[in-house]
C-alpha cells in the first residue's frame, strides 16, 4: 500500500513541478494507534517516513497559497476525522495530533489556538456522535473543493497525520477516501 501511495505522491509532485527533497521534521512522531495490528516490516519503515516527508515537502512548496480560512477549517476537520477514524480518540492521541498540527510548517500560517479550537470542536462532535460529527466534518472539508490546490493540500494534510505513526490503518484510509469524495478529488491520486 505504501509503495502505491509513494508512487502516487511522486506523480503528484511531478505534476506540481516541485523537486523538493523529503525531510524529517520534529513533529513526525506517531500519534498513538492502539494495537490495531497491521504493523509493517521494518525494511519499509524508511519508505513510509520518506513518503510522509514527501507530503510535507509538497505542502511546504505551496505554503504561501494555503492561507485561506477554508483550508484551515477543512484541514482541522480532516485531522479530526483521521484521529477518530477508528471511532475513538484517547486523550494522549488527541494531544499528539494537536502537537503534529501546531508543529506542521504549513499550518503555522494560522494561530495555534485557532487550530486547536477547530480540531477539538470536531473531535468532540465525533466522540459524542460519530455519524453526525463525520457528516459535519465532511461538509467543512467539502468547502475547500473550490480551489483544487487547497483540496489536494487538505488530503495531504490528512495523509501526513494518518501516516505519522508509520501505520496507515484501513479506517484511516476510508476517512481519506471519504474526504477525497467530498472534495471531488480521485482517491486513486493518493493511492487509497
CATH for 64: 1.10.3680
84 burial class (0-12, 13-18, 19+ CB within 10 angstroms)?
buried
The parent domain of residue 60 ranges over: 46-189
Identify whether 35 is part of a domain. Answer: no
Q: What is the C-alpha separation between 156 and 185, in angstroms, rounded?
A: 12
Q: What is the dihedral of CA 55, 60, 65, 71, to 10 degrees?
A: 50
Instruction: Specify the DSSP class assigned to residue 33.
Output: -
pTM of the complete model beyond 0.75: no
Is 69 part of any domain?
Answer: yes
Is the pLDDT at 26 greater than 50? The verdict is no
In a domain, 122, yes or no: yes
Q: Is residue 4 part of a domain?
A: no
Q: Is the pLDDT of residue 148 over 60?
A: yes
Residue 162, in any domain of the structure:
yes
In a domain, 40, yes or no: no
Cell 469524495: give the residue: 181
Q: Which of 191, 189, 162 is nearest to 175 (CA)?
A: 162
**pLDDT at 62 (0 to 100):** 63
Better-predicted residue by pLDDT, 145 or 9? 145
Residue-wise pLDDT for 36-84, tens only, equals 333 333 334 455 566 556 666 666 556 666 778 898 999 999 999 999 9
Count of structural domains within the chain: 1
Give dist(CA 118, CA 164) in Å, integer: 20
Amino acid at each position: 500500500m505504501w509503495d502505491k501511495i509513494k508512487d502516487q505522491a511522486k506523480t503528484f509532485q511531478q505534476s506540481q513541478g516541485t523537486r523538493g527533497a523529503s525531510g524529517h521534521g520534529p513533529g513526525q512522531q506517531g500519534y498513538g494507534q492502539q494495537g490495531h495490528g497491521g504493523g509493517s516490516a521494518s525494511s519499509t519503515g524508511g519508505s513510509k517516513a520518506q513518503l510522509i516527508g514527501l507530503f510535507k515537502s509538497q505542502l511546504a512548496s505551496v505554503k504561501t497559497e494555503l492561507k485561506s480560512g477554508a483550508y484551515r477549517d477543512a484541514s482541522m476537520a480532516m485531522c479530526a476525522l483521521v484521529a477518530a477514524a477508528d471511532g475513538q480518540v484517547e486523550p494522549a492521541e488527541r494531544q499528539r495530533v494537536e502537537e503534529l498540527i501546531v508543529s506542521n510548517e504549513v499550518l503555522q500560517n494560522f494561530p495555534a489556538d485557532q487550530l486547536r479550537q477547530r480540531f477539538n470542536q470536531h473531535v468532540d462532535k465525533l466522540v459524542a456522535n460519530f455519524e453526525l460529527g463525520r457528516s459535519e466534518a465532511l461538509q467543512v472539508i467539502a468547502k475547500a473543493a473550490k480551489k483544487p490546490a487547497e483540496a489536494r493540500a487538505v488530503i495531504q494534510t490528512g495523509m501526513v497525520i494518518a501516516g505519522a505513526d508509520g501505520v496507515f490503518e484501513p479506517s484511516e484510509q476510508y476517512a481519506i477516501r471519504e474526504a477525497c469524495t467530498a472534495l471531488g478529488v480521485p482517491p486513486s491520486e493518493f493511492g487509497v
